[in-house]
A and B are shown apart, each in its own frame.
Chain A
Amino acid sequence: EPEVTQTPSHQVTQMGQEVILRCVPISNHLYFYWYRQILGQKVEFLVSFYNNEISEKSEIFDDQFSVERPDGSNFTLKIRSTKLEDSAMYFCASNPGTGDHQPQHFGDGTRLSIL
């Protein structure tokens, strides 16, 4: 069964540094998402992406965050100047986006640790 894959599985970065988290969504899916889960908290929506542009974003997704689909297969989340509070699991998801409601399929996440 097709899967969403995320790399790296664990990223350790110094505070203030830029980090790029990478995702390969399921190939025929049209919608892509980033979520995060801070330790002990709920899974929170960050941003959704469709047709090469952001379709929705949360208040968490401020100017330090950006997303890109650089080559038609990868979907990246960039955090420009990381803060301690950015430490979390970051999950990428994709959705077929066709027909009726369908579930999002999630990758196994990237654990981001900011030192």
Chain B
Amino acid sequence: DQQVKQNSPSLSVQEGRISILNCDYTNSMFDYFLWYKKYPAEGPTFLISISSIKDKNEDGRFTVFLNKSAKHLSLHIVPSQPGDSAVYFCAASARRAGKSTFGDGTTLTVKP
């Protein structure tokens, strides 16, 4: 039972353009959603999060949108930079300090 899904294994964008990464979830109990960035041979690095009481959270070039009725969230990166090239994981949790359930990841490549 895959509770968090990232349907696009990979995404390629040109430097300076917008990157949009998508994530769907099935568990209605999830109330906190996160995006992590991962480079090879490193652990996931926290990028941005959103609580279920909000529909948007912005931090610099990164914005996360949450559509609870569709059980969908997305990460927008504007403008994209070559250093953003990494694997991006969507994750969700159902209680404070509870376990995180991860999606399969999307490999983002930003071309100069």
Q: Which residues of A contact B (CB under 8 A)?
A: 4, 6, 30-31, 33, 35, 41-45, 48, 50, 56, 58, 91, 93, 95, 97, 100-109
User: B residues within 8 A CB of A107?
Assistant: 43
A60: shortest Cβ distance to chain B, in Å?
12
A95 to B102, CA, bound (A): 16
Q: Nearest B residue to A94 by beta-carbon distance?
A: B97
A48 touches B43 (CB 8 A): no
Q: A100-B51, A101-B93 are in contact. Are A45 and B101 (CB under 8 A)?
A: yes
**Interface flag for B100 (CB, 8 Å):** yes
A104 to B89, CA, bound (A): 13
A80: shortest Cβ distance to chain B, in Å?
23
Q: A42-B102, A42-B104, A45-B101 are in contact. Are A104 and B96 (CB under 8 A)?
A: no
Indicate which residue in B31, B46, B99, B104 contacts A103 across the interface (CB closer than 8 Å).
B46
Q: Which residues of B contact A (CB under 8 A)?
A: 31-32, 34, 36, 41-46, 49, 51, 89, 91, 93, 96-105
Which 6 pairs of residues, A with B, have the shortest CB-CB distance?
Answer: A106-B43, A101-B32, A103-B46, A43-B102, A45-B99, A31-B97
Q: A45-B99, A56-B98 are in contact. Are A106 and B45 (CB under 8 A)?
A: yes
A91 touches B99 (CB 8 A): no
A sample of 26 cross-chain residue pairs with beta-carbon separation below 8 angstroms, ordered by A number, consists of A35-B102, A42-B89, A42-B102, A42-B103, A43-B102, A44-B102, A45-B99, A45-B101, A48-B97, A48-B99, A56-B99, A58-B99, A97-B96, A100-B51, A100-B96, A101-B49, A101-B51, A101-B93, A103-B46, A104-B46, A106-B43, A106-B44, A106-B46, A107-B43, A108-B43, A109-B42
A107 to B38, CA, bound (A): 11
> A35-B102, A93-B43 known; 12 other A-B pairs, CB under 8 Å?
A33-B99, A42-B102, A43-B89, A45-B99, A95-B97, A97-B96, A101-B93, A102-B97, A103-B46, A106-B36, A106-B44, A108-B43
